[in-house]
Amino acid sequence: MKKDSMRPFINRELSWLEFNQRVLNEAIDPAIPILERLKFLAISCSNLDEFFMVRVGGLKLSVQSGFQKPDPSGLKPEAQLDAINNRVETMVEDQYSLWKSSIVPTLKKSGILISSPKNLNETQLAAIHRFFETEVYSSLSPIAAHGDEFPLLPNQTLNVFVRVHVDQQTNSALLKDDLLFSERIAVIPVGKRLPRYIFVPTEAKLELVFIEDIIQHYAHRFFPQQKIIDSFTFRLSRNADMRVDDEVAGNLLESMEDLLNERTTGDCVRLEVDSEVETDSLVALGKKLSLSIKDIYTCDGPLALSHLMPISSAAGFESIRYDHWEPSDDPNLDPTESIFDSLSRRDCILFHPFQSYDPVVRLLSEAAEDDDVLAIKQTLYRTSSNSRIIDALHRATASGKNVTVILELKARFDEARNILWARQLEQAGANVIYGLKGLKTHAKATLVVRREPEGIARYCHFGTGNYNEQTAKVYTDISLLTRDPDLGADAADFFNAITGFSRPQDFRKVAMAPTGLRKRLMDMISIETANAKRGNRASITCKMNSLVDSQIISKLYEASQAGVEIDLNVRGICCLIPGLPEYSENIRVVSLVDRYLEHARIFHFHHGGDDRVFIASADWMSRNMDKRIELMVPIEDPQGKQQLTAILNTYFQDNVKAFELKSDGKYSRLTPEPGQTAVHSQKAFHTSTQAHMEAVAKRTPITFIPHRSRQSP
């Protein structure tokens, strides 16, 4: 083992940017249907938006406060910002080069045209003119920006900057620090109420014009009898790395509402401008926003490409999208019987979205209606806008059941929705806990307490993903539905500890952060290390979204040095460097980006042949280990173990959509070797779940069961 205490790490921000590049690579791939490529491009832009608001915003606050401590990779905050700027500049160039050279022409070939007013015919011009006069002109108001005055513009909204020439009479009223005495500046905020683009009459299948192009085309209507010198679109990203100090906040719900308001006025961390901007105008805008040139990104195309996401799902274009993959039903859950009866016979493990999320919703829905159910307890972190789960909780409360919901108000960017759900559930009579002071409740757990002939039974759901029926269709996650007495008892202790303001007890099977999860993981790695040192087989095979925690990474390096074979599937950030002599020669890291967002957390330890398999809500990050309420749950059923280890093995066989992290910190796409079979893991999962369901259906005899009246014998 190396004697020095310093371990090699990749900077987490730069690692995240490389993940976003892998997302962008899907948009670049010509083998992918064009609307899917458009979607991946939109996702890469949306990802960057959040990255600047949160990660860059946090680094800028560190610099402003004089914080100089380097991260584990050795980079201080200012050096990280410089490295981010260099990497993002290249990424933005790649995004817009792809947009102009490939996405737009390919969309055109498929009948979807992206147009501007100068390219429209008379009929189309008449349509946008009517739209401008009836909706735009009446809704928008230009705001003068003289001297030090500049409007407070909302975060992530489009704005049109306009420079106009003024006459001598107006000239005398201008302040000296305007661009020129004969010019003035105004901003037209587009706001959020107008559509991002409008569709115009066309002989093509679809033709659209962006709202900012329409505004600039008719900008003279806002400035009659004045000459427009320059106009361009710009967009601000503000710092959203703001937190409520819930140790002192009197009313957490009201404090969270205040935080949402603060986000609209936070410091600007990024300025995006279109490439039509003139240098004088850009200098003037940057000065008014107190931004350096490093904070300004020029985009050779429409800003906010993330707004194009709805186009990717437009009706009538199925031929240029992925084939639809219908989720399969679990053949072990008979839809004609109560889910409680099914789970009384055996545990159920579901692999979403290849298998339907309906059983999770069904558990709550049946519990809401079942007279024998006494109580429902659930954690909620992110939910869908029209949530059947929330509806089930409402119905359960209305029927007199004891409903307790731990609803995390501090779930970033979902605060507003969670505040709404919290108020509604409280009004319905549920017991709503807003989470714990100083911690985010990120665990995914449901407990249903039911009275049965043999006594009280506890039915549980533990998952790796949120209780969100919509994201369950596009995120890969694992669900465990079980009646296991020990897990039920652990779930009861878990909820009671949180709602009762008590110290968490020692659990029978689960591990919880921040009290015991880190120790359990470190102990499991230590066991593999000890077995390897004794010359026995030792291996660790894990799947997660991020690997950042320096203590766990150091422990994995020690295990590798002892001879433990370690395979890690890490979707996003990975600060561990594999393949380094004397450190990580026995560690392999792969990342996978495909049609579904990889989100499951599955951990497998060889454990001397007594395989230990877990699912978890937590990634291997310091925040998950120390600052969040998380759960890691063992899978003990032999069939369940086999199912999850098979899933892990398939991921590591993927040579179509997988990237491998090399010792130089760069990712290389895997491709089949000559004569090697191509393995596309997500496609294999879809095929296998469909085949399994069909095979079970063939083995199940058809039985005709008549509906009888109550008078029938």
Q: Mapped to the 3 state alphabet, what secondary structure does 18-57 carry?
A: HHHHHHHHHHHCCCCCHHHHHHHHHHHHHHHHHHHHHHHH
Handedness of CA 600, 606, 611, 612 (dihedral sign): negative
- Who's near 504: CB < 8 A, 6+ residues apart? 493, 494, 497, 512, 515
- Ranges of residues in the chain with a pLDDT under 50 are 1-5, 170-180, 244-250, 252-253, 255-257, 259-260, 263, 710-713
> How many separate helices (H) and strands (E) can be counted in the chain?
21, 27
pLDDT at position 423 is: 79
- Of 599, 633, 592, nearest to 619 by C-alpha is 599
Sign of CA dihedral 83, 88, 94, 100: negative
Which domains are seen in the chain, by residue range? 7-110 (1.20.58.310), 140-306 (3.30.1840), 339-508 (3.30.870.10), 513-698 (3.30.870.10)
pLDDT for the residue 422 = 75
Q: One-letter amino acid identity for 478?
A: I
Residue 698 has a pLDDT of: 67
Listed in sequence order, the residues at least 6 apart from 171 whose beta carbon sits closer than 8 Å to its beta carbon are 181, 182
Select which of 442, 461, 604, 606 is catalytic: 442
Question: How many Å apart are CA 183 and CA 163, to the nearest integer?
Answer: 7
Token pair belonging to 266: 């936070």
pLDDT at position 110, please? Answer: 95
The answer to whether 506 and 484 have CB atoms below 8 angstroms apart is no
d(CA 179, CA 145): 11
Parallel, antiparallel, or unpaired for β 475-482 and 455-463?
antiparallel
Check residue 250 and give its pLDDT. 43
Token readout for 374 is 């006494």
Whether residue 459 contacts residue 488, with contact meaning beta carbons closer than 8 Å, is answered with: yes
Measured distance between the N- and C-terminal CA atoms of the chain, rounded to whole angstroms:
78
Residues near 338 by Cβ (< 8 Å), separated by ≥ 6? 366, 370
Do 406 and 378 touch, CB atoms closer than 8 A?
A: yes
Told to judge if 324 belongs to the known catalytic residues of this protein, a careful annotator would answer no
Residue 170 near residue 225 (C-beta atoms within 8 A): no
Given a contact cutoff of 8 angstroms between Cβ atoms, the answer to whether 335 and 329 are in contact is: yes
Q: What is the pLDDT of residue 165?
A: 84
Quote the pLDDT of residue 286: 84
